[in-house]
Amino acid sequence: MQSMAVAVSLQNVYKLYNNVPVVNNLSLTIEAGEIFGLLGPNGAGKSTTTRMLTTLTKPSQGQIQVANYDVVRQSLQVKQRIGVVLQQTSVDGDLSIWENMELHGRLHHIPEPHRQRQIERWLDYVELLERRNDLVKTLSGGMKRRLQITRALLHQPDILFLDEPTVGLDPQTRRRIWEIILDLNRQGMTILLTTHYMEEVEYLCDRIGIIDAGRLIELGTLQQLRQKHGEGLLMKQTEDRWEYQFFSTLAQANAYLDQQPSKTGMMVRPANLEDIFVELTGRNLD
């Protein structure tokens, strides 16, 4: 038996579509209680990985365990222990907020009167209680996302999967969702999120995995990644583009800059996650 300390484990996982690996020999463990960020360019396999972890699609090969259950053989037990918020708004626009929650609670066989109390508690938590009778189609994008999150929490899952939770939201709303995610994590929830917003990962994640073309190409804390690739960055403008050069410390980057006879078009700054991402994948996220 694995210890409960591991929340999610993938071992040599492949997912093939028409014999092409979209996820290619992916191995990864996520510890209970951490916020793990899965990053990658579009088409890197992030959403496919999330779909396998949440039992929506089966791996072609390899083993996946979530909350110590096998996602293929024990998918029902997995479903009972996870909350899922996918990119597509999966709430029903013609129902009210309360009706959406009520439907979800019944699907999860949450008994009365516990169900009512849980719905009230979670709607209050995401500040939607006073809008309980509003039809979902009248809500803003941020409110819809908060409803999706709160619905995913109703059956008290151990692990929450968020697939690009703040895509298309304004910065203020995004920040509110970040605060909800951090607070849930403080209460002990394990969270896996996919995103392509670097500042989201820097703000939220304990550890980061970067995938490209279905392969895990980097894994670690932000600090480990910066130590490995370099904490200082020299940017040099050539005719029409910037060239980036990493230095192990900011001081070394500055010392190098000081030695240059001409400093025109050069600047030094701390390296961030985006710099490392571009260095690894050869492209910007957008």
Residue 59: count of CB within 10 angstroms of its CB? 23
pLDDT digits (tens, 9 = 90+) for 220-246: 999 999 999 999 999 999 888 888 999
Is residue 51 situated within a structural domain?
A: yes
Dist CA 228 CA 175 (whole Å): 29
Dist CA 230 CA 28 (whole Å): 24
Residue 41 pLDDT level (bands cut at 50, 70, 90) = confident
Where among 224, 248, 281 does a domain terminate?
224
pLDDT beyond 70 at 1? no
H or E stretch at 162: strand 159-163
pLDDT at 242: 85
Question: Any alpha helices (H) in the chain, and if so which ranges?
Answer: 46-53, 75-81, 97-107, 114-125, 141-153, 171-186, 198-204, 222-229, 250-259, 273-281
Is residue 282 situated within a structural domain?
A: no
23, burial (CB in 10 Å: exposed 0-12, middle 13-18, buried 19+): buried
pLDDT at 284: 57
Is residue 280 situated within a structural domain?
A: no
Is residue 279 situated within a structural domain?
A: no
Lowest mean pLDDT among 21-25, 138-142, 237-241, 264-268: 237-241
List the structure tokens of 171.
């910065």
Same domain, 176 and 263: no
Number of domains in the chain: 2
| Range(s) of the domain holding residue 39 | 6-224
280 vs 196: which has the higher pLDDT: 280
Query: What phi and psi, each to the nearest 5 degrees, are found at residue 56?
Result: -80, -25
List the structure tokens of 140.
């803003």
List the structure tokens of 120.
């009230």
Report the predicted TM-score, pTM, of the whole model to 2 decimal places: 0.90
pLDDT digits (tens, 9 = 90+) for 165-201: 998 899 999 999 999 999 999 999 999 999 888 999 9
